[in-house]
Amino acid sequence: MTNADVVALAHSALMDVYACMPVAFERGEGAYLFDVEGRRYLDFFCGLAVTSLGHAYPSVVRAVQEQVGKLTHVSNVFHTEVSARLASKLSLKFGGGKVFLCNSGAEANEAAIKVARRWGASRGGRYEIITAHNSFHGRTLATLAATGQQRYHVGFEPLPLGFRMVPFDDLDAARAAVRDETVAIMIEPIQGEGGVVVPRDERYLSGLRELCDQRNLLLILDEIQTGVGRTGKFFAYEHWQVKPDIVTLAKALGAGLPIGAAIARDEVAACMTHGTHGSTFGANPVASAAALAVLEALEDGSVLENCTQVGNYLMGELKALAAGETKIREVRGRGMMIGVVLDREARPLAQACLEQGLIVNATAGNVLRLLPPLNLTIAQAKEGFEIIRRVLKSA
């Protein structure tokens, strides 16, 4: 099949909810993807921050192949060693706490919301969760209600109640929004979908932590995009030396296999007793094996170190370019999560990059979002940067 054949077949049968690029990929190798016609692309997108170790990372491939031949599913009526070991490692990373394993980001946030509500139910019947404008927390009805972007809500009302939105990066607004009903504050440390928005207030996250401590609220950090090393630390919150009560992970956790996790402090997780939550596929052994291999690959710190170094290099090049290029308004981000804010719509530029063999993402209208693999080399960073420079120049 050609790219066009696959696109036509997909359009004939799939619900048309994605504004897809007209390319069908066949295989991947490290930082590169190959389409069905054999054309090679440098991947600065990683399937939305998912394949953070690059494609076909050998130890992940091995772990999945071994597990898929042994056991693919037993349900949570029983245990498997692989998911027990994964939960134990995640708990350790968090510094103690209990893990709920599920299959996606929205499900991880849904679990976090349920934990917060159940925790609040026995603490004065509190239920309201403060979230931020411009946030993204998922597409299920509750996570949609938590998402501070009106355009995603249209046509899906009535949405679940119990969410109150405040401007991001505004500590006073969060403080003023706390009411008797408030149980938690849920925030992305760096907004991803919203355009790679890094808080300008260095004290924002620690301020939220203090506010939560003062008012007996839970701090929930949605690290579905920023987590698992994307910003150069395993959890992005480590940059600000704060610790949430609940953190959610998904995207990069399974290196491409669907898996999500909500991790809560022991005292908070204690409210989740038998029968209060569940997922048939949650803690799936194959997805767990992939996630274990990912955690092991990050263990010695060299991938995170590379993420910081090559990410800084790429951001430095982009900032230098921005100095002489009026089409760029701002370059922002952390590690391998970089937003290039343009003076125009980003999608045509993402399209032009694709035609030049570089995959980047357009988000929030005018932001080119770069999410390269954490193990990208300097040479590959240069290769991608050169394409971006050329495309911007001729735009």
Ligand X SMILES: *Cc1c(COP(=O)(O)O)cnc(C)c1O
Cβ–Cβ under 8 Å, residues 102 and 272:
no
- Tell me if 193 contacts ligand X by CB under 6 A: yes
- 251 catalytic, yes or no? yes
For the CB of residue 230, give the shortest distance to ligand X in the complex, in Å: 10
Q: Which is nearer to ligand X, 106 or 292 (CB)?
A: 106
What's the min distance (Å) between Cβ of 164 and ligand X?
18
- Interacting residue with ligand X among 31, 106, 144, 283 (CB under 6 A): 106
Which of 43, 169, 222, 245 is an active site residue?
A: 222
Nearest distance from residue 180's CB to ligand X, in Å? 28
Q: Is 266 a catalytic residue?
A: no
105 scored as a contact of ligand X (CB under 6 A): yes
Catalytic annotation, pick one of 44, 94, 136, 385: 136
Q: Which is nearer to ligand X, 113 or 342 (CB)?
A: 113
136 binds ligand X (CB under 6 A): yes
Q: Kindly identify the residues of this chain, within the stretch 250-309, that bind ligand X according to CB under 6 A.
A: 250-251
Which residue is nearest to ligand X, using beta carbons? 105
Residues 312 and 338 sit within 8 Å (Cβ to Cβ) = no
Is residue 110 near ligand X by the rule CB under 6 A? no
Hey, which residues between 207 and 246 contact ligand X (CB under 6 A)? 222, 224-225
Q: Which is nearer to ligand X, 283 or 352 (CB)?
A: 283
CA dihedral 305, 309, 314, 316 (to 10 degrees): 140
Question: In the structure encoding, which two tokens stand for residue 332, read together?
Answer: 């922002």
What's phi and psi for 55, nearest 5 deg?
Answer: -85, 145
Please tell me the distance from the alpha carbon of residue 229 to that of residue 355, in angstroms, as a whole number.
29
By the rule CB under 6 A, 115 interacts with ligand X: no
d(CA 13, CA 20): 14
Which residues neighbour 179 within 8 Å (Cβ) at sequence distance 6 or greater? 128, 164
Residue 283 backbone zone (phi > 0: left; psi -120 to 50: alpha; other: beta): left
Applying CB under 6 A, the site for ligand X has a residue count of 15
169 contributes a contact to ligand X by CB under 6 A: no
Q: Is 222 a catalytic site residue?
A: yes
Instruction: Assess contact for 26 and 52: CB atoms under 8 A.
Output: no
Residue 106 C-beta: closest distance to ligand X, Å: 3
Query: Please, which residue, 171 or 224, has the CB nearer to ligand X?
Result: 224
Inter-residue contact 101 to 259 (CB < 8 Å): yes
Question: Considering beta carbons, is residue 138 or 148 the nearer one to ligand X?
Answer: 138
Q: What's the Cα-to-Cα distance from 87 to each of 52, 106, 261, rounded to whole Å?
A: 20, 19, 9
Max Cα distance, the chain (Å): 61
Q: From start to end of 230-299, where are the E strands?
A: 246-249, 260-264
Q: How far is the CB of 194 from ligand X (least distance, A)?
A: 9
Which residues are part of the catalytic machinery?
A: 136, 222, 251
Interface with ligand X (CB under 6 A)? 104-106, 109, 136-138, 188, 192-193, 222, 224-225, 250-251
